[in-house]
């Protein structure tokens, strides 16, 4: 599953709801009469870039199709503090029981989208694109990746089967950059993208000689990224250049101006600060 939708989305939401509800929502069933109807709003308590509205809507629908949903914002839209994201109406018990799963996803995804937008805006005007990584919470990768795109970023590989990415441990076990790229080329189907991480200029020259499709410059200074990227650009049929490692919102502009095609940022998904979003019941009836 890449973009969550259809049966894949429903299967995930079914598991999330089952985990959260357990055998029953004891509090709601004890305190809210079964026939009670309610209206509610989902509101942003702090400014954010919205992501996950369709997912949250589907969570309520899977719990109870009688819950009506009216979106007041769109995924990818920036909303200010106090902004309304959606209105709900229907059985009060279902609104309360579905609240936590819907908000957990909406808060996490909007947090990721908000962080991504900050990085994208920080590199605006350069050739560089912001990408995510596989540093995601198990079971949430598809949701996290969707949120990155809502923030204006792009997705790296979804799984290990999407492309070859030769990291430092692969290189060591394979006997060096050149051997690792050659082995990957021999074992891969035609057209498979092969990216290799380099840690020195000699690694870089080996990768260029082996005709890697992409070069990953990891944990280097902006000055080194600029020098090595210039070397790549002078090579015949230059591969794409990706920078990563130690890149923050404070220094991402420096890295982007060093000239890589893309910067991958693990913090977008491994260090999520959830957006401050709440569901407020308005009135009965």
Provide the annotated active-site residues. 100, 135, 167, 197, 218
Token pair, residue 104, equals 């957990």
The DSSP bridge pattern shows strands 262-264 and 240-244 to be parallel
Question: Which tokens sit at 279?
Answer: 């569901």
Q: Is 270 exposed, middle or buried (0-12, 13-18, 19+ CB in 10 A)?
A: middle
- Measure the CA–CA gap between 22 and 226, rounded to whole angstroms: 54
How far apart CA 33 and CA 91 sit, in angstroms, is: 10
DSSP E strands in the chain: the ranges are: 37-44, 48-49, 68-71, 78-79, 84-91, 129-131, 164-166, 194-198, 214-218, 240-244, 262-264, 277-284
Interhelix angle 177-187/201-209, rounded to 10 degrees, is 30
Sign for the pseudo-dihedral over CA of 246, 252, 257, 262: positive
Structural contact between residues 89 and 40, judged by C-beta atoms closer than 8 angstroms: yes
């Amino acid at each position: 599953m890449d973009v969550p939708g259809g049966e894949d989305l429903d299967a995930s939401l079914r598991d999330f709801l089952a985990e959260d509800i357990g055998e029953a929502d004891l509090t709601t069933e004890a305190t809210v009469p079964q026939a009670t109807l309610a209206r509610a709003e989902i509101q942003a308590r702090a400014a954010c870039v919205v992501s996950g509205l369709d997912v949250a809507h589907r969570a309520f629908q899977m719990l109870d199709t009688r819950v009506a949903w009216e979106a007041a914002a769109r995924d990818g839209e920036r909303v200010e503090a106090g902004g309304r994201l959606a209105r709900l109406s229907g059985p009060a018990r279902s609104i309360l029981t579905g609240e936590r799963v819907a908000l957990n996803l909406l808060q996490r995804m909007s947090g990721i989208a908000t962080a991504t937008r900050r990085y994208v805006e920080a590199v605006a005007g350069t050739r560089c694109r912001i990408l995510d990584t596989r540093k995601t919470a198990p079971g949430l990768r598809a949701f996290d990746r969707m949120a990155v795109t809502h923030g204006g970023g792009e997705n790296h590989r979804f799984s290990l089967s999407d492309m070859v990415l030769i990291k430092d441990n692969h290189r060591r076990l394979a006997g060096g950059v050149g051997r690792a790229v050659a082995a990957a080329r021999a074992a891969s189907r035609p057209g498979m993208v092969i990216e290799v991480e380099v840690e020195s200029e000699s690694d870089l020259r080996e990768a260029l000689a082996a005709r890697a499709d992409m070069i990953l410059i990891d944990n280097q200074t902006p000055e080194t990224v600029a020098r090595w990227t210039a070397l790549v650009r002078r090579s015949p049929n230059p591969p794409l250049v990706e920078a990563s490692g130690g890149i923050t919102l404070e220094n991402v502009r420096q890295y982007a101006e060093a000239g890589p095609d893309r910067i991958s940022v693990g913090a977008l998904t491994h260090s999520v600060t959830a957006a401050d979003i709440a569901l407020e019941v308005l009135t009965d009836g």
